[in-house]
Chains A and B, each alone.
Chain A
Amino acid sequence: MEIKKVAVIGAGVMGAGIAAHISNAGIPVVLLDIVPKGVDNRNAIAEGAVQKMLKVQPAPFMHKRNARLVTTGNIEDHMELLAECDWIIEAVIERLDIKQDLYRKIDSVRKPGSVVSSNTSTIPLRDLVAEQTDAFVGDFMITHFFNPPRYMRLLEITAGEKTRADAVMGIRDFCDRSLGKGVVDCNDTPGFIANRIGIFWIQVAILEAMALGLSVEEADAVMGRPLGIPKTGVFGLSDLVGIDLMPHLMESMQRTLSKDDPFLAKSTIPELVSRMIADGYTGRKGKGGFYRINRTAGGKVKESIDLVSGEYNPSRKAQLDSLQASRQGGLKALVNHPDKGGQYARRVLAQVLGYAASLIPEIAENILAVDEAMKLGYAWKYGPFELIDRLGGSLFGQLLESEGLSLPPLIQLAAEQSFYRVQDGQLQYLDTSGIYQDVVRPEGVLLLSDIKRRSEPLAKNGSAALWDIGDGVVCLEYTSKMNAMDPDILALMREAIGIVSKEYKALVLHNEGENYSVGANLGLLLFAANIGTWDQIEEMVEGGQQTYKALKYAPFPVIGAPAGMALGGGCETLLHCDAVQAHAETYIGLVEVGVGLIPGWGGCKEMLQRWMINKRRPGGPMPAVIKCFETISTATVAKSAAEAKDYLFFRPDDGVTMNRDRLLADAKSRALALADGYQPPQPIEISLPGPTAKAAMEMAVKGFHLAGKATDHDVVVAMALAEMLSGGDTDITESLTEDDLLGLEREVFMSLIRHPDTLDRMEHMLETGKPLRN
């Protein structure tokens, strides 16, 4: 089954977001909604949704031009457009009668064999298809996206008994490969997997925080980091998703769950929450929620609600001994701690993890699906069963007992065993019959973590490791904190060149960190600058330049395979690769000016070369210089791999992988394709205009300064960048080698690192995470 065109009906936040994300895969999509009353434009809702999506951040579209793939219309005039679609997604209001009626209309126009799915989160599949034709029922399933569809990786698929297996397979494959989703198969039960457990968790965590007298900050601090849950914890998360959603979700759960489900005992909405909703405190989209920003009196004060009195007070950082203990002793230390933070963690974990364990096999076939759903849908670092393993089975059993809860059969079955284990380098999970099964990855998925489980590195040091990923390809993994580039990584790169040259075919730069690399180790650099070790700093700059250059001219192909942020020195590694296979969600840029520097590891040089040989470029070097200047002087970061090509951070023929799990395999194939008959690139010499170009850029910078758009130090840094990009003291008749350009980069870099305002910028960035505008 091939999906060439898709339709989404319902242009609300979810429907529109789904449509945008389908366009991100390069697939044309029809977006329809009802005809609004009292408006001339009958397509106003769908058109408005697309227009709005072009403005909001984080952007639903990976590239603005994707909006052109979305055909907008309404369900009265444009139903015939559905006839061309291979997949029709319904994302309209959660009312059974409206959905059923719509399905009949869809069925009358759709082409045979096309798939219809609903994005419902509350209505059982059996009810949805109750009155539909057999053909429709066979082609129907639930595809439950999470908000926002571009960014949340979870997709829950629920197939009915009569749903065609090949239709399920086709959609699953499309969502996996083209949309990049982590697809989890669910049973037709209320809330499927993630919300069944997730909403129970939120509710229990709120009720217990109130019962134990924790402040919202304390509750979020305990529910967040120590458990591997985003630091928004539970109250911050409620503010984010909207507190007014809670009663709706509770109501649907109460309606659909069996009467003896433990969920129902916890489904009462606290009086405080009802009052907040009535008063418009619905979360970030409203007047504020459990937290709010108080802007009265001209200031900006973060406040939080007192869970007892309902009054807002200035937010106070959580100070609990149990939190302190967890910083050293981890989750166990938290749970074993006698204070109210420890008690809170015990009560919530016992109830939530116990509940999750009791739901298998009701909601899913095995623990893998549940863990995957919570990790991808709620951004938990560990799924419920991984958390139980981290606590240890016996401690968890004690926890359940001390909270007066019964041991679910699955927990009894596991007894003292862990839910996961590694056997001969193979990850295994415990199935419902108590037998360990291999965790099998889908075809085309290659995970570095699996390779690391079963093999030893070819080489490693404190900041990087080198892995044989099979078929003659080697992967260089960064392991430093935040994957910051440092002298150890550079050293291992040089070692890798030796190893791969001798015995392997190609090198891939890849890691499974949240971010590929956020740049050079700024702390190390700042400390070195503070103690005035200029010679060592210059050596480090030159060392990076020469190492990256050696990668570029190595006798084998080097493929960059980034995901997440690739900034500064991290971006520069990729600029030196023969090719890049990037995850679609790669955010790349040369951001050095933010800390008062310029790219010093060949970033300026590579960008100049790329723009010089760019075919779209009109004649003369000036446009290339200006383009580089604009990109680097504004610290531009591309918001997707697609956008990165606009700035030439990626080349037009660099590859993009939608599913992060498939990135390494794709990069490996790319590497092998290039390895046959590989020839290193020819060194390029370029000519630059010199002082005339610099003068032109200076005019522009001065203009910005006068207009108040550039600070004093912005001017200093921009002029230093202009000096570099214009080629220094050169003119158009001279040709500059790579080493000339690197020397100039180094010289300019060294002049900036000695500037006190640059050091202030670096310190500010390290201490606050935000740029200093000095």
Chain B
Amino acid sequence: MASYKTPLRDMHFVYSELFDAEAIQALPGCEEVTPDLVDAILQEAGKFCEERLLPLNRSGDEEGCHFENGKVTTPAGLKEAYHDFNEMGWGALAADPEYGGQGLPNSVSMMVEEIMCSTNFAFGLYPGLTHGAYNALVARASDELKQTYLPNMVSGKWSGSMCLTEPQCGTDLGMIRTKAVPQEDGSYHITGSKMFITAGEHDLTENIIHLVLARTPDAPNGIKGISLFLVPKIQVNPDGLLGAPNGVSCGSIEHKMGINASATCVINLDDAKGFLVGELNKGMEAMFIMMNTERLAVGIQGLGIGEASYQGAVAYARERLQGRALTGPKSPEKPADSLLVHPDVRRMLLTQRAYVEGNRALAGWVATEMDHAHRNPDPSRRQEAKDFVALMTPVVKAFMTDTGSEVANLGMQVFGGHGYIREHGMEQYVRDARIAQIYEGTNGIQAMDLVGRKLPAHMGRYLRRFFHPVRDYLESKEHDFSMHAYLMPLAKAFGRLQKATAVIAQKGMANPDEAGAAAAEYLRLFALVALGYLWMRMADIGKQKRDEDNLFYQAKVDTARFYFERILPQSSALFANIMAGSKGMMKFNDEAF
């Protein structure tokens, strides 16, 4: 039986102590978002998720979704939980009040997402997809479409899906074949087949609003000829009530490694009525609006799973008595010492903890900047924040899901054989976490995005939003001797990142393979430095406050120390990998593979 308690104390720390909660409150529309309110929201969210979602996690996984006669039935209990989830307004947290949302900042809603992912990852995908579709429609759809569809999506009455992938194309969407034929009334008739569609069909809502990528008959070839369409499962009459079924059907569902309570569908479109979202042939642009928020959300999935696995591992390590400490018995009165006495177990637990808390801080930083990007009245501050979010999106998506998977595996390892069986839920975390490294753009694609697009953009302007704050912080701590244990290694790792960045920019211009070969390791180096910076700041706060709440703040200082001693040194190996260049890989004989 999995155990999980919402990490309210650490969430409070990130929201109110590490980042500037007052600055968020000063943003238009956030006047009432006091730290107290945020604490209360998270507490309530935690309560709901622990009580209602967590119990369905294993049963949902084991039962899975059912497919019969084109209908998908979700596992027992999901429907009721989904109803109550929306009833309590959890699905409308970050949506615009104009469409019935609560207008809360991203920095709050992302924490709620984390709790959902910790307690029931597969469940979270249903409202998650709806929110992604909502974001694309808000940004690009006509007012008429917004008024017709958004209120019911925000309330959770209707859900959303993203229909991109087709059998012949996943990463390379330029090859999309689904056709959209213009009709006299301004709508389109859409025909084609989509696959791997999360929440494409299910029994949780009365209608599903699909966002479909397709091409019109005279569209240019490739990626420049893709448009985005809104295609409801059931047509909506002018009075807003449901009308005739649309030409949308579910052909089958996939049998997967994990997230089994989430329906992954083949969606067939047969002259389905659809409406253009945004401009013709600008579909990828509209899709990317949704994809970028989704990518951050996927990063949070890695974080959520990691937190759950860490908590499970800690509980087990504390209770499980096995063997004796190497230095002699610690609990001689008991038949054996707890697992906590073993250095290797502590290594695993601290690794989990350092990644999870570090990732939470990283997510908090990006979410805070998202709020500034959307709401700050100063255009130059908004631009800075946009740049930063654009830069960090691939880092958050790839690193937080890679480490999410690593952390889930460590959690299973702490359990030994008991981690490999279903009973404790640890193996489900491993299976569930794995998909996050793959979908929404594989982590390899994220790395290419970072080096190929984000790094050279505006001659490195996006980079400035990260490098300058870190550089400035390091300079501000130069004379703070209490921080030197952190300053030196971080300054070194930062220097390696600077060097790697300059080298990739230079070599990549002459030969794109050089950038491609370095991409994955560069992204990881980037993330490790980002976490190093955040851990140094967290240690800084911990040192100042440890007299107030010694257990919590001293743990911050100690986890930071572990991070600097045992994780950040990876940066040196990664730097060597990056500097090795592409030749060794690229000249390997294809025949010999």
Contact = CB atoms under 8 A, between A and B. Distances in A.
Q: Do A and B originate from a single complex?
A: yes
A531 B471 CA distance: 9
Given A530-B464, A531-B467, A532-B468, A763 B502 contact: no
Interface string B436-469: 0000000000000000000000111101100110
Interface in B484-511: 498, 501-502, 505
A527 B498 contact: no
Q: Interface on chain B toward A: helix, strand, loop, or mixed SS?
A: helix
A766 B389 CA distance: 23
B458 A767 contact: yes
A759 interface: yes
B467 A527 contact: no
B464 A759 contact: yes
A71 B463 CA distance: 62
A523 B460 CA distance: 9
A642 to B, nearest CB: 36
Contacts of A108: none
B122 to A, nearest CB: 40
B461 A530 contact: yes
A434 to B, nearest CB: 43
A444 B446 CA distance: 60
B463 A531 contact: yes
Given A531-B501, A531-B502, A533-B498, A526 B471 contact: no
B132 to A, nearest CB: 31
A527 B471 contact: no
Interface string A517-531: 000000100111111
A528 B502 contact: yes
A763 B383 CA distance: 14
A527 B471 CA distance: 15
Contacts of B463: 530-531
Contacts of A527: 459-460, 502, 505
A527 B463 CA distance: 9
B459 A523 contact: yes
Interface string A744-774: 0000000000000001001100110000000
Contacts of B468: 530, 532
Nearest to A764: B458
Contacts of B464: 529-532, 759
A530 B467 contact: yes
A274 to B, nearest CB: 35
A763 to B, nearest CB: 6
A674 B412 CA distance: 81
B365 to A, nearest CB: 18
Interface string B347-380: 0000000000000000000000000000000000
A724 to B, nearest CB: 24
A231 B505 CA distance: 30
Nearest to A759: B464
B459 A530 contact: yes
Nearest to A522: B459
Nearest to A762: B459
Interface string A621-643: 00000000000000000000000
Nearest to B501: A531
Contacts of A531: 460, 463-464, 467, 498, 501-502
A282 B226 CA distance: 41
A289 B459 CA distance: 37
Nearest to B505: A527
Nearest to B460: A530
B467 A526 contact: no
Contacts of B461: 530, 759, 763
A295 to B, nearest CB: 27
B294 to A, nearest CB: 28
Interface string B226-266: 00000000000000000000000000000000000000000
Contacts of A533: 498, 502
B499 to A, nearest CB: 8
Interface in A661-687: none
A529 B498 CA distance: 11
A686 to B, nearest CB: 34
> Which of A532, A759, A762: most chain B Cβ within 10 A?
A532
A76 to B, nearest CB: 63
Contact of B459 (A532, A534, A763): A763
Contacts of B501: 531
A534 B468 CA distance: 11
A767 B467 CA distance: 21
> Which of A531, A533, A534, A766: most chain B Cβ within 10 A?
A531
A90 B38 CA distance: 88
A248 B467 CA distance: 63
A523 B502 CA distance: 12
Given A526-B460, A527-B459, A532 B505 contact: no
A759 B462 CA distance: 12
A751 to B, nearest CB: 14
A767 B505 CA distance: 17
Interface in A531-548: 531-534
Given A527-B502, A527-B505, A532 B460 contact: no
> Which of B458, B459, B468, B502: most chain A Cβ within 10 A?
B459
B310 to A, nearest CB: 33
Interface string A134-146: 0000000000000
Nearest to A534: B471
A763 B380 CA distance: 15
Nearest to B468: A532
A533 B461 CA distance: 14
Contacts of B458: 763, 767
A329 B463 CA distance: 33
Contacts of A766: 459
A534 B478 CA distance: 15
B502 A532 contact: no
Contacts of A526: 459-460
B26 to A, nearest CB: 21
A762 B459 CA distance: 9
A759 B468 CA distance: 12
Nearest to B464: A530
A634 B463 CA distance: 31
Nearest to A766: B459
A594 B468 CA distance: 23
B223 to A, nearest CB: 14
Contacts of B498: 531-533
A765 to B, nearest CB: 10
A272 to B, nearest CB: 28
A766 B458 CA distance: 9
Interface in B467-487: 467-468, 470-471
A484 to B, nearest CB: 13
A763 B470 CA distance: 21
B258 to A, nearest CB: 38
Contacts of A763: 458-459, 461
Nearest to A528: B502
Contacts of B505: 527
Interface in B504-532: 505
A521 B464 CA distance: 19
Nearest to B470: A532
A759 B461 CA distance: 9
Contacts of A534: 471
What are the nearest 10 A-B pairs in CB distance?
Answer: A530-B460, A532-B471, A530-B464, A527-B460, A532-B467, A526-B459, A531-B467, A530-B463, A531-B498, A531-B501
22 contacts: A523-B459, A527-B460, A527-B505, A530-B459, A530-B460, A530-B463, A530-B464, A530-B467, A531-B460, A531-B501, A531-B502, A532-B464, A532-B467, A532-B468, A532-B470, A532-B471, A532-B498, A762-B459, A763-B458, A763-B461, A766-B459, A767-B459
Given A530-B460, A532-B464, 17 more contacts: A523-B459, A530-B463, A530-B464, A530-B467, A530-B468, A531-B460, A531-B463, A531-B464, A531-B467, A531-B498, A532-B471, A532-B498, A759-B461, A759-B464, A762-B459, A763-B458, A766-B459
Interface of B: 458-461, 463-464, 467-468, 470-471, 498, 501-502, 505
